[in-house]
Amino acid sequence: MLWYLLNFGIILVFILLFLITRQTNNRWSKINDYLGMVTNTVNSVRYGNLSTKIDELNHPTYQNVTDSINRMVETLKDREKMIVEYQNELMRQNKLLESVINSLSDGILIVNDKFNILRATPKVIDWFGTKGRDILGKNINEFIQIPEDISIEKAADCDIFIMSTPTNNFVLNTIKLSIEDKKRYVLLIKDVTKEREIETLKEDFVATLTHDLKVPIVAEAKMIDFFLSETFGPITEKQHTALAGMKNSNKELIDLVQIILETYKIKETGIQLAKESVKLGNFVSNIVEEVQPIAENSQIKLNFYLKKDLKISADPLQLERVIKNLISNAISHSNTKEKIDIVVDEIPGFATISVIDYGQGISKDEIKLIFNKYYSASKKFRKIGTGLGLYLSQQITKSHGGEITVTSEENVKTEFCVKLPV
């Protein structure tokens, strides 16, 4: 009996173990199936398929994980939609920007530190005579020539020659880009052919017009001299005064025409100097005596001070033009009845000729502009002037190896100083 009970107990234990093992295997099988679904879902998400989800399970342990993974997939799907929308917007903006850039009349290139082309607009491709992407990677020097004394990375309004478009005029400007450790440059190329043609036509027209004007103006001046000298008979004192005023106005017109012609000649041929030895003391003194009557008509006295009598090499005719122009400007723009001082002196390496007036002065903003071509302060004071006088004087002085400087204090004084190498 005892033996029978023992055998029954052993059999019962084996049955229980079998049932437990079978239940455990079923659970592990379900876990493996679930993990397989999770793995498949994660792999699908990994490769961009965000439509995959894990089926809902009626199991509290698995359901939390399932819900979390499905929410993650939904969130990723929403993010993907946002990213796609952002990408589409960026593409639209990029196309718009590229369309605007490509429609510009100027050419734009982007080059690296070795000046190899990374990007170019259609205008540049057309000017360079290449096709599409064939231009990329090529060195910019294969297509353009710039002056030897100018580097591409520092080009500013620099005239360049494009070998494939030899009949046009181009100007280059370079902008440096700061992109981490990489050097990049934006090259802006502008076709200025039409502007240059218009400028040439304008200057040719002005030169021709002023040349033709000079003849009757000079003839008029001679006729006025005949009347003043009573060649055609006696004149009254009032007539003499009127004719003298006409003569002064006529002289101003001749001077204006002459300045325009001289400026045109400078552009075409440069300033041709016929230098000789000039003793500044007598030279400047004679000029002051010559213009003294003009100053007296404006009730202004010219004072000449010779602090250092120096001998320089200069073109007397051109230098006289500079000094007369500065003195004439001082007389015209001095709204007081005070003196004008003309001083000859020396600074290290240079002889100086200073013209000092004590009139309204020049503002700081105007000082930056007065030597510019065609800028004139005369309009401000209702006086005749082209603005070319100071420009021409500066060019003449520079051709001598010197310069003209100006200092001014409004309503106190203005000093123009001609510096010429000794």
CA neighbours within 13 Å on the CB side: how many for 416?
27
Question: Strands (DSSP E) along 30-116, which ranges?
Answer: 107-112
> Residue 331 has which token pair?
């007389």
For the residues 366-389, what does the mean pLDDT come to?
Answer: 58
Residue 364, pLDDT above cutoff 50: yes
Residue 155, pLDDT above cutoff 70: yes
Q: Give 77 or 115, the one with higher predicted confidence.
A: 115
Count of C-beta atoms within a 10 Å radius of residue 135: 20
Q: Provide φ and ψ at 372, rounded to 5°.
A: -75, 150
What local confidence, expressed as pLDDT, does residue 90 receive? 81
CA gap 323, 242 in Å, rounded: 29
For the residues 7-25, what does the mean pLDDT come to?
Answer: 52
Which of the four pLDDT bands, split at 50, 70 and 90, describes residue 416? Answer: very high
CA gap 139, 123 in Å, rounded: 17
Per DSSP, the three-state class of 358 is coil
294-353 pLDDT per residue, tens: 888 788 889 999 998 889 999 888 898 899 889 988 887 776 667 899 999 999 999 999
Residue 172, pLDDT above cutoff 90: yes
Q: Contact, 381 vs 363, CB < 8 A?
A: no
Q: Contact, 107 vs 193, CB < 8 A?
A: no
CA gap 87, 405 in Å, rounded: 59
pTM of the model: 0.48
Q: Contact, 388 vs 260, CB < 8 A?
A: yes
Which of the four pLDDT bands, split at 50, 70 and 90, describes residue 385? Answer: very low
Residue 11, pLDDT above cutoff 60: no
CA gap 48, 41 in Å, rounded: 11
CA neighbours within 13 Å on the CB side: how many for 187?
30
The CA–CA distances, whole Å, from 344 to 29, 99, 304, 347, 353 equal 112, 63, 8, 10, 5
What local confidence, expressed as pLDDT, does residue 380 receive? 45
Percentage of the chain exceeding pLDDT 70 = 73
For the CA atoms of 283, 285, 288, 289, what is the dihedral angle to 10 degrees?
-110
CA gap 89, 91 in Å, rounded: 5
Any bridge partners for residue 112, and if so which?
A: 184
Angle at the Cα of 276 from the Cα atoms of 271 and 282, rounded to 5 degrees:
110
What's the whole-number average pLDDT of the chain?
78
CATH architecture of 272-422: 2-Layer Sandwich (3.30)
Residue 84, pLDDT above cutoff 70: yes
Per DSSP, the three-state class of 342 is strand
Residue 268, pLDDT above cutoff 90: no
- DSSP state string for 137-150: T-BGGGTEE--TT-
Q: Give 290 or 61, the one with higher predicted confidence.
A: 290
Q: Where do the structural domains in the chain lie, given as residue ranges?
A: 18-100, 104-191, 193-270, 272-422
Which of the four pLDDT bands, split at 50, 70 and 90, describes residue 42? Answer: low
For the residues 126-151, what does the mean pLDDT come to?
Answer: 87
The answer to which of 72-76, 165-169, 191-195 has the lowest mean pLDDT is 72-76
For the residues 237-263, what does the mean pLDDT come to?
Answer: 77
Residue 231, pLDDT above cutoff 70: yes
> Residue 327 has which token pair?
């003195």
For the residues 215-226, what does the mean pLDDT come to?
Answer: 81
What homologous superfamily is domain 104-191 in, according to CATH?
PAS domain (3.30.450.20)
Q: Contact, 40 vs 52, CB < 8 A?
A: yes
What local confidence, expressed as pLDDT, does residue 230 receive? 84
The answer to which of 55-59, 178-182, 191-195, 249-253 has the lowest mean pLDDT is 55-59
For the residues 117-146, what does the mean pLDDT come to?
Answer: 88
Which of the four pLDDT bands, split at 50, 70 and 90, describes residue 384? Answer: very low
For the residues 271-300, what does the mean pLDDT come to?
Answer: 87
What local confidence, expressed as pLDDT, does residue 312 receive? 92
Residue 271, pLDDT above cutoff 90: no
What local confidence, expressed as pLDDT, does residue 341 receive? 92
The answer to which of 15-24, 324-333, 409-418 has the lowest mean pLDDT is 15-24
The answer to which of 122-131, 171-180, 246-255 has the lowest mean pLDDT is 246-255
Any bridge partners for residue 391, and if so which?
A: none
